[in-house]
């Protein structure tokens, strides 16, 4: 899974703010990723829906990464995604965690790196990013 999508930096997202992402999942999607953090090597949230990848089927895997070191995976079984369909996902920044808002479901992921500002966002894999908005 390569296909690096757009990268946003210097976002300045603080607790109380949120990022809304819209795009289209590829018709033959295996997996796609959205990363949120300080920069590409300090990821507060690596968000990875897997249709069929790394032995996982229809599962969301989340993790954090500091330099080359991954944290412990958090797995979500609710999988509200369809291949070839548009999707809107909102990430809310809270003081100690992030809330991930999906169609009909939300969950939270701890701010393990203790980031006070989320400046970095990128996507890659079987997903075409169409818009990014924050407030």
* Residues making up the binding site: 46-50, 54, 63, 70-76
Cβ proximity to its own copies: between 42 and 112 the closer is 42
Looking at 45-134, list the stretches that DSSP marks H as alpha helix, in order from N- to C-terminal side. none
Distances (CA, A) of 23 to 66, 73, 85, 121: 27, 25, 9, 14
When the beta carbons of 68 and 135 are compared against its own copies, the nearer one is 135
Q: Which of 8, 113 has the CB closer to its own copies?
A: 8
- Let me know: does 96 contact 37? Beta carbons within 8 Å: no
Among 6, 16, 80, 84, binds its own copies (CB under 8 A): 6
Residues 68 and 75: their CA atoms lie apart, in Å, by 21
Least Å from the CB of residue 7 to its own copies = 5
Question: Contacts with its own copies in 22-81 (CB under 8 A)?
Answer: 22
């Amino acid at each position: 899974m390569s296909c690096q999508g757009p990268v946003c930096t210097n976002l300045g997202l603080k607790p109380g703010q949120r990022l809304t992402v819209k795009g289209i999942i590829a018709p033959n999607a295996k997996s796609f990723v959205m990363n949120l953090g300080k920069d590409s090597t300090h990821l507060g949230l690596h968000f990875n829906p897997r249709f069929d990848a790394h032995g996982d089927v229809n599962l969301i895997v989340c993790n954090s990464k500091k330099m080359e070191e991954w944290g412990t995976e958090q797995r979500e079984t609710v999988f509200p995604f369809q291949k070839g369909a548009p999707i809107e996902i909102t990430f809310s920044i809270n003081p100690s965690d992030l809330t991930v808002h999906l169609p009909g479901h939300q969950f939270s992921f701890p701010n393990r790196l203790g980031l006070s500002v989320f400046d970095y966002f990128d996507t890659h894999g079987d997903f075409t990013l169409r818009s990014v908005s924050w407030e």
